[in-house]
Amino acid sequence: MAEKVVLGLSGGVDSAVAAARLRDMGYDVHGLFLEVGLGGEEAAQHTADDLGIPLYIAHRREAFEQQICAYFADSFRNARTPNPCVVCNPLIKFRALTDYADEIGAPYIATGHYARTGRDAEGRALLRRARAEKDQSYMLYRLPRGTVARCVFPLGEAENKAEVRENAREIGLAVSEKPDSMDVCFIPDGDTQGWLERHGAACPPGNFVDENGKVLGQHKGIHCYTVGQRKGLGVAAEGRLFVHELRPETNEVVLSLEDVYRREITVRDMHLIAPEYAENGPFACEVRVRFSRRSDRATVYPDGTGARIVFEDAVRAPAAGQSAVLYDGDIVIGGGFIE
């Protein structure tokens, strides 16, 4: 008898191709659509019908609003740059998948994420980078190891998104040309400032100041800026200005003619998928301070629930609230939120 797998089916091309690949691998595929008040059920059902798999609707709207939307708004109020996917994956998405998998007796769960899993020499589960440039392991670093052990990522070995779209065309899926979703699913128009204003999370205008406190002009609200930003400032100067610091306590945005680089950062709320790396104290690894392919060599000094990270070379504009994710080659060690 084929083993059951519960797949997160969004109605997009990635999850649709993931479903088809799982079916071809011999799994008994059960789709799950995560209903959080954003629509999309019809597209997911259409894909499920095309592939001949059942679809379950998991209603998580209240939890999503309380745990993800509220976190997003609070981050901006406190001059932090949030990444809602990092928080949503362990708290909402993968929890819904595992809950339903347990209910129907499915040993595995799956998504259309570009990531891979593996095992070390002791048989412990590992989360690994994808082959494709569109690697999404950064977004998954807070998953519990037990969850990673149940994950199947059918797109992990794909060369790129073009390969996945071509696969969708070959299968004859209607979603083959569907545009990629936005970075923040609950802001489909990409207007973060407008969303914050509608949800009462916008900050009042205040002063742009230089590093000595001299007022340079007025900003639109600290929620409109992030460290390292250099566009849309509207302040005349002798050279290009950069957002150097956000000060929520005084409602000031500090500007500087110097770009922002840091040799050392601290992180809080560390989560280690592979805690064995930290068993003997400080360890060397590669660190990504934002969702990109770039990683930088550093030494991590664990400290309780946080850590101090010292880079070999200074990194540009690590923003408070974003995640610093630790890698050993293609293995995800874990990470934490930048202070």
Q: Which residues are catalytic?
A: 88, 185
Diameter of the chain by CA atoms?
A: 72
Strand ranges inside the chain, DSSP E:
4-8, 28-35, 55-59, 108-110, 116-119, 125-128, 151-152, 206-209, 215-219, 242-247, 252-256, 261-272, 283-288, 296-303, 306-316, 323-328, 331-338
Residue 317 DSSP one-character state: -
Phi, psi (degrees; rounded to nearest 5) at 165 = -65, -40
CA 60 to chain centre: 19
Closest CA to 98 of 151, 19, 55, 173: 151
Closest CA to 302 of 330, 334, 328: 334
Closest CA to 223 of 242, 196, 244, 199: 196
Q: Are 97 and 111 in contact (CB under 8 A)?
A: yes
Q: How far apart are CA 215 and CA 41, in angstroms?
A: 51
Strand-pair category, 125-128 with 116-119: antiparallel
User: Which amino acid, residue 146?
Assistant: G
Q: How far apart are CA 88 and CA 270, in angstroms?
A: 16
3-state secondary structure of 309: strand
Please say whether the dihedral angle defined by the alpha carbons of residues 200, 184, 219 and 212, taken in this order, is positive or negative. positive
